[in-house]
């Protein structure tokens, strides 16, 4: 069969090779070879293929002057058989026939890097038997992208194998198809012990309970059926390593657009769970503290207030008025302490809150006989209304305590949330962080807990709060990361 037409129209660079004086000589090149390496047939014809592939030549002489092996392994050269024996040492027989038999017998490939019109590229040189005078064709397959993908894959494999997370791949029925080195280290089991096994192997090994295995199976079903984008399961594994808690995250792994597999990550969350338990214990202590404040302090205070009223019936005294003021301060302290103790957790009852109407109601609840409020927003935010009411009322009381009874308070919106400002004396820059500390107050009438409550309520909503100087020189409290319902709509 005559391959001439196929050679001329082959879509990859190719040269025809003959044997002259025991050397592989280029006898023809196709047009793609010329255009790829910016050369002409006249330049390459008569050159030794081995010189082209292995030795840089003088400028303008060798078409692939900057070519070099892709790695140190090199490649077998024409004229040597698979055992490395030079054909010239065979001694007898038709040399051309020996060369033809050798090429047919050896499927020799070599990878090189060569300069092209588009810059350096990687090529796999494949030798294909030929008809006619040519002994074989040398085809230059561009493998640049393939090598890049292999390099990227190698980097991904290194990440997968050296990450601190356990990584698994399940099929949609819950059978292991892959686990990384972290899983092997933590479990103490070899790779072969996992592959092809069902997730219920954990139950057989006693590393997980039947309920935990059932949760994983339900998660696999949920992500492969499209019910969930991700499923998280907290596990208490019985493993050789000191891991009290593992979080397993399951996500679909699509093949041709179908979630045929599940990619799972397991992470040691022992420290996180320990912190959670400690936080729970702290919250329990706060609850007990709140109960103590609410009952054990209110009762004797109520008795004292009752006795004070009886004493006032018997006589009038300036000292009794001061006792009444002290009682009122104690009531304020108790209310603020209870509020602070109960703001330690994230709010969950979030609803649309109209800032304009809420600010108006809060202003009415604060004793501000000479004060003025200016509401310059029509924003609706997502918040816990009761907590947000508490936040605004504390800011309004703070403005009155420090700005005077004729203070003007402004509530407005910003691109990131809202603000509350006043035209009082403001807060010195060096004290703007301290004002949120519990008990901090520069007013004898204040309890020092109002702004602490404000910060706790903001944190419970995942908002940030900071103090700046207002346009009128007073204090301006800005709340950011606030979700606007009107914008979302």
- Give the global pTM: 0.40
The secondary structure element, H or E, covering residue 183 is helix 181-187
Sheet strand arrangement including 417-422: 372-376, 408-414, 417-422, 475-480, 464-469
DSSP H or E segment with residue 151: helix 144-162
> Would you tell me which CATH number, out of the four given (3.30.450.20, 1.10.3080.10, 1.10.8.60, 3.40.50.1260), belongs to the domain 4-143?
3.30.450.20
Q: Where are the domains of the chain?
A: 4-143, 163-268, 273-341, 351-488
Architecture per CATH, domain 351-488, reads as 2-Layer Sandwich (3.30)
Q: How far apart are CA 415 and CA 235, in angstroms?
A: 42
Query: Does the domain formed by 163-268 have CATH 3.10.20.30?
Result: no
What CATH number is given for 273-341 in this structure? 1.10.287.130
The domains spanning 4-143 and 351-488 adopt the same CATH topology: no
pLDDT in tens, the chain (489 residues): 566 777 888 899 998 888 887 788 888 889 999 888 888 888 888 888 777 765 433 334 344 544 555 554 333 333 333 333 333 333 334 444 444 444 443 444 678 888 888 888 888 888 887 766 667 888 898 988 888 887 777 776 676 677 778 888 888 899 998 888 888 888 888 988 889 999 998 888 888 888 989 999 999 999 888 888 888 888 877 765 666 778 888 888 876 666 678 888 888 777 766 676 776 776 676 666 666 666 666 777 778 888 888 888 888 888 888 888 778 767 766 776 666 565 555 566 788 999 999 999 889 877 777 889 999 999 999 998 888 888 898 899 888 887 777 889 999 999 999 999 998 888 888 787 777 776 556 555 555 667 888 888 888 888 999 998 888 788 899 999 999 886 544
Beta bridge partners of 446: none
Q: How far apart are CA 120 and CA 320, in angstroms?
A: 96
Q: Cα(323)–Cα(308) distance, rounded to whole angstroms? A: 8
Q: In angstroms, rounded to a whole number, what is the distance separating the alpha carbons of residues 361 and 340?
A: 22
């Amino acid at each position: 069969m005559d391959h001439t037409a196929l050679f001329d129209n082959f879509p990859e660079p190719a040269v025809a090779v003959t044997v002259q004086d025991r050397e592989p000589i280029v006898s023809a090149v196709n047009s793609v070879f010329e255009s790829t390496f910016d050369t002409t047939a006249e330049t390459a014809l008569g050159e030794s293929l081995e010189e082209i592939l292995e030795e840089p030549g003088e400028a303008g002489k060798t078409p692939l002057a900057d070519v070099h092996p892709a790695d140190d392994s090199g490649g077998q050269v024409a004229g040597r058989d698979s055992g490395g024996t030079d054909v010239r040492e065979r001694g007898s027989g038709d040399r051309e026939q020996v060369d033809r038999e050798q090429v047919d017998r050896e499927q020799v490939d070599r990878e090189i890097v060569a300069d092209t019109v588009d810059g350096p590229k990687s090529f796999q040189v494949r030798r294909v038997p030929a008809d006619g005078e040519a002994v074989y064709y040398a085809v230059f397959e561009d493998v640049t992208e393939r090598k890049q993908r292999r390099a990227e894959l190698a980097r991904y494999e290194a990440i997968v194998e050296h990450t601190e997370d356990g990584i698994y791949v399940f099929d949609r029925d819950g059978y292991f198809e892959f686990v990384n080195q972290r899983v092997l280290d933590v479990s103490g089991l070899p790779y072969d012990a996992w592959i092809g096994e069902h997730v219920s192997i954990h139950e057989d090994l006693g590393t997980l309970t039947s309920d935990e295995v059932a949760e994983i199976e339900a998660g696999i079903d949920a992500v492969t059926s499209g019910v969930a984008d991700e499923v998280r399961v907290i596990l208490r594994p019985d493993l050789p390593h000191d891991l009290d808690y593992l979080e397993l995250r399951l996500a679909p792994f699509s093949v041709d657009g179908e979630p045929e597999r599940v990619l799972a990550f397991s992470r040691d969350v022992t420290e996180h769970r320990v912190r959670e338990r400690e936080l729970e214990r702290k919250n329990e202590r706060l609850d007990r503290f709140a109960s103590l404040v609410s009952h054990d302090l209110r009762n004797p205070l109520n008795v004292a207030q009752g006795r004070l009223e009886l004493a006032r019936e018997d006589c009038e005294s300036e000292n009794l008025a001061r006792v009444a003021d002290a009682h009122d301060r104690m009531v304020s302290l108790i209310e603020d302490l209870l509020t602070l103790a109960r703001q330690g957790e994230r709010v969950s009852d979030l609803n649309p809150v109209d800032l304009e109407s809420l600010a108006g109601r809060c202003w009415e609840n604060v004793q501000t006989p000479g004060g003025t409020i200016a509401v310059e927003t029509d924003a609706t935010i997502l918040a816990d209304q009761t907590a947000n009411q508490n936040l605004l009322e504390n800011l309004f009381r703070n403005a009155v305590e420090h700005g005077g009874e004729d203070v003007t308070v402004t509530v407005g919106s910003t691109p990131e949330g809202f603000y509350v400002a006043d035209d009082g004396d403001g807060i010195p820059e060096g004290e703007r962080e301290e004002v949120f500390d519990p008990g901090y107050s520069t007013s004898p009438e204040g309890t020092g807990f109002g702004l602490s409550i404000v910060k706790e309520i903001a944190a419970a909503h995942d908002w940030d709060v900071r103090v700046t100087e207002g346009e009128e020189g007073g204090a301006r409290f800005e709340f950011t990361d606030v979700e606007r319902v009107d914008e979302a709509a």
